[in-house]
Structure 1
Amino acid sequence: MKLSDFWRRMGESFGPAYARSVAADQVLPQLGQTIDDALRSGVDAIVVWRAVVANYPDRVPSRLR
């Protein structure tokens, strides 16, 4: 998954401003770090996206899973 795809999905799921807040502030248990930190450290965007889906199943539309 491209980073641009990842951020588009985040924006569609959370709204642009809240998506950035979630990425910066929420530590995802599967990653052991925030979304931003995981992406910066080289974790593949698809792995991060799967963690987002697992942690926010009510926020992520089924078409984006």
Structure 2
Amino acid sequence: MRVALAQTDPLLGDVAGNLAHAEEQIRQAHSQGADLVVFPELSLHGYHLGALGRRDDLESLDMR
């Protein structure tokens, strides 16, 4: 079994665009002999830790 790992830079909230990009990556991997293509979790809706940016409002909270 040949496994391909997909590297993505999804756009937050752009499910249709992210899906289209994933489909293209699947086609490319398949053409190169991959039986399975693995994507990062949450890559379809685009969430990742840096996606929402820095929350300046949280810095003002003193949690002590």
TM norm structure 2: 0.30
**More helix per residue: 1 or 2?**
1
Q: Which has the larger radius of gyration?
A: 2
TM norm structure 1: 0.30
Q: Give the structure, 1 or 2, with the largest relative contact order (CA under 8 Å, sep 6 or more).
A: 2
